[in-house]
A and B are shown apart, each in its own frame.
Chain A
Amino acid sequence: QVQLVESGGGVVQPGRSLRLSCAASGFTFSSYGMHWVRQAPGKGLEWVAVIWYDGSNKYYADSVKGRFTISRDNSKNTLYLQMNSLRAEDTAVYYCARNSVEGAMVIGWFDPWGQGTLVTVSS
């Protein structure tokens, strides 16, 4: 079955860095765009970034642009999010999610989602 498993979350001090990973299985990873979406404690969903299936294009939310980098390794079926210069407001559960349409270079709906990994930015 299609599965996404995030890892790499934890407690980090403001200004430091963290890299999240999302291991994919059960589908042809290299054929799908992939997203990161986050959810601050008790809050709603916020889209963070997308990368096309071949890594050719990446887009970011303004709130993370210049600090976060999305990347992928199709040989390892793994998605990454490098988070630098972390701030308290980056504290959230980070989900990876598959873009809806195979092979497409347009953003669609998200399905499925991983279980999420918690990032806490605190001194």
Chain B
Amino acid sequence: DIQMTQSPSSLSASVGDRVTITCRASQGISNSLAWYQQKPGKAPKLLLYAASRLESGVPSRFSGSGSGTDYTLTISSLQPEDFATYYCQQYYSTPPTFGQGTKVEIK
């Protein structure tokens, strides 16, 4: 199985900050990576797929990049509604696997 490691596990940031979350795969996944946002008590919501493609309706302040084993999710200017937990997921091979999550908290 491909292991997905996110960093940091949590971070504190202020509204307007630029935030970057990293996801590292245990082997190359050829951009087969999705990012999800989850708020407490709610289901995950797709943000990006294919490492950098923004899902329809997702604000453009979210962006993704990377290649090979290393990928990043960037929020260019953190908004109050962005405080949540973020997960990466690889779909390069079965079983699909998730990172452990990054909780973005208010500073």
Contact = CB atoms under 8 A, between A and B. Distances in A.
Interface in A90-113: 95, 100, 107-113
Interface stretch (A11-19, A40-48, A73-81): A40-48
Contact of A59 (B42, B87, B91, B95): B95
B93 to A, nearest CB: 8
Interface string B78-107: 000000000101010011111111000000
Nearest to B35: A109
B43 A109 contact: no
Contacts of A62: 95
B21 to A, nearest CB: 14
Contact of B98 (A47, A59, A115, A116): A47
Contacts, number: 53
Contact of A100 (B45, B49, B98, B101): B49
A45 B44 contact: yes
A88 interface: no
Interface residues of A, number: 20
For the complex, would chain B's binding face be called helix, strand, loop or mixed by DSSP majority?
Answer: loop
Nearest to B101: A44
Given A62-B95, A95-B44, 20 more contacts: A44-B87, A44-B100, A44-B101, A45-B44, A45-B89, A45-B101, A47-B96, A47-B97, A47-B98, A50-B94, A100-B49, A100-B91, A107-B94, A108-B91, A109-B34, A109-B49, A110-B89, A111-B46, A113-B45, A115-B43
Interface of A: 44-47, 50, 59, 61-62, 95, 100, 107-116
